[in-house]
Structure 1
């Protein structure tokens, strides 16, 4: 290309990387050569020469959950504002795949990494930080590790979901939660549900129904177990630890002739718009994914710019209750103290303060 433009290799490099050092006439000649020869810049080679890249990595546990899509949108907006690119990888709910994604970004020499796991990933993040690449953890409280983290208050998520059912007049509440305590969001939402039940201020029956996985099929199996009981022994309110589990429960309950929300009001917990379609619009708790992504990217950029003087931070965002038809039509008691939501597909958002 340099020969075609009649300039040196150094001049071509300046045109691509430092155009202010080159005359407009020379830039035009090099650009013409680029267009004629179909040259495409090798970003990997440029990164190796510079010892880094203009990219930030983002690894999320599951791109099927719309919250992580929102995290990516927020992170991408903040990255583009800073003149950086965002590279995204989903881990398909696999800790091993997550580790491979982290290593791939490490090998690509990204400037830093945003990581949204479901369990402790300190061994993976250390492989990044030991090579001078900062990491910010998203949607997982990693305050015990020397990294920044941005989380939504998952205990408050469970608390809001259960309290809404209590305020709606439910008298027999069940929590559908994963058996595996290694998943921090599941563990914290369970704690929040239990706290709401302890503060009920009136006699309310409470049980926990274990689900073996966080899928709609697991929710359907829980509905089978509930439907096998006599009507008076069934819960009249259900908090599912994820929206996907909640949708599976609702769809199977409807198939079995159980009225949702007339007989059982159902709450989800993560406002996942990518969950399977549901005949009854689902009440849930919004997780502030976009805000998490934006805040995490800002922390990462600050650490990149101010290492080693950067002070690690833990940012906690408040969730909010979204009331829809799966609870708004419950006939078992008084209306929600936050106000009655509209019917059908409308929503009422109640801030968690």
Structure 2
């Protein structure tokens, strides 16, 4: 007669072992190393699991192994669709690879980011994806010393040797500026702020490269003070008040939220967009697509970044530390021209000509 332990709650591994007539070690091997167990014995254990409705205690297993099959992701903000796309891509890839994703948003607060990293460590995640706008060296080095690999997303570190996935922000600035120049603009107003942020700095480099390639085109810097909409509102009002001879005849916002705020202020001042001043954004933020004038922007491929980052992290976890070579994946950008630079009729025609079969094109 097989002794079955008393049931005072959910079935445990002890109940499974008793029902299958095997040791606890055998049940553990079936759950974690099935190749070590004879097929007939493993089948008996699986039958017992099914009959009892046993679910492995992931927390207990984490205490034994030191890790879980979970990945942490800390993003700068979920208000920008770049980061929510990143979450979706990472979540789908993690699930495909047999992992779960734990998500936290720092809201551009470095202290909060450190708190989130510490919390994710406490849950014994296998590793962490960090979508930040700053180097975060001290936090990352501490996390790695505790045995948790970190992969940067949307940021290429210069002070930390780590894997990273970035979109080509210089290309994004270059494409948007070139598009404005091709629309006939010769005074490009660059509405920007926070040059300390790597994406901002690199987009500006692309703007300058495009202008350098076109003699006679000049840059008009417009400091927005911040990269959020209030900065764009102030910048747009200042542009509208400029004398016509000094006013930019084309505007690029370093973020879509800045660009949409500029569009609103220009229209409120009686200036037409794009007939008087074409306006483009630069980060394809869907939050900014609800205005009266659909915004031209540049794709950021957030989902692809999240997917690639999960792959880099799992590669690092699989490889011995002494053999792992950190690498950076750079994802290209594409311009999506809409009414804010083309006008309504031309934008409608451009949208009609886009083909869903081309994965580079995004419909907004």
Alignment of 1:146-185 (within 5 A): 146-178=161-193, 180-185=194-199
Are the aligned partners of 2:240 and 2:265 in contact in 1 as well (CA < 8 Å)? no
Match of 1:275, SS state, is helix
Q: 1:327 aligns with which of 338, 341, 348?
A: 341
Alignment of 1:244-323 (within 5 A): 244-275=257-288, 277-308=290-321, 309-323=323-337
TM-score (norm 1): 0.86
| Unpaired runs of at least 5, structure 1 | 331-339
Aligned to 1:209: 222
Report which stretch shifted further, 19-28 or 152-161. Answer: 19-28
Q: Given the alignment of the two structures, is residue 197 of structure 1 paired with residue 211 of structure 2, yes or no?
A: yes
The size of the alignment, in residue pairs, is 338
The separation in 1 between residues aligned to 2:173 and 2:5, in whole angstroms, is 63
Q: Given the alignment of the two structures, is residue 229 of structure 1 paired with residue 242 of structure 2, yes or no?
A: yes
The separation in 2 between residues aligned to 1:242 and 1:279, in whole angstroms, is 18
Report which stretch shifted further, 13-22 or 168-177. Answer: 13-22
The separation in 2 between residues aligned to 1:44 and 1:23, in whole angstroms, is 23
Q: What is the CA distance between 1:42 and its match in structure 2? A: 4.0
Are the aligned partners of 2:137 and 2:159 in contact in 1 as well (CA < 8 Å)? no
Are the aligned partners of 2:89 and 2:303 in contact in 1 as well (CA < 8 Å)? yes
Q: Given the alignment of the two structures, is residue 3 of structure 1 paired with residue 18 of structure 2, yes or no?
A: no
Q: What is the CA distance between 1:185 and its match in structure 2? A: 0.6
Q: What is the CA distance between 1:204 and its match in structure 2? A: 2.4
Aligned to 2:252: 239
TM-score (norm 2): 0.84
Aligned to 1:106: 121
Are the aligned partners of 1:244 and 1:276 in contact in 2 as well (CA < 8 Å)? no
The separation in 2 between residues aligned to 1:347 and 1:147, in whole angstroms, is 41
The separation in 1 between residues aligned to 2:258 and 2:101, in whole angstroms, is 31
Aligned to 2:10: none
Q: What is the CA distance between 1:33 and its match in structure 2? A: 4.1
Aligned to 1:335: none
Return the index of the structure with the highest Cα Rg: 2
Are the aligned partners of 2:278 and 2:340 in contact in 1 as well (CA < 8 Å)? yes
Match of 1:233, SS state, is coil
Provide closer, same or farther for how the CA distance between residues 86 and 347 of structure 1 changes in structure 2, counting only shifts above 3 A: farther
Aligned to 2:12: none
Are the aligned partners of 1:222 and 1:249 in contact in 2 as well (CA < 8 Å)? yes
Match of 1:162, SS state, is helix
Structural RMSD (CA): 2.8
The separation in 1 between residues aligned to 2:318 and 2:252, in whole angstroms, is 43
Aligned to 1:60: 75
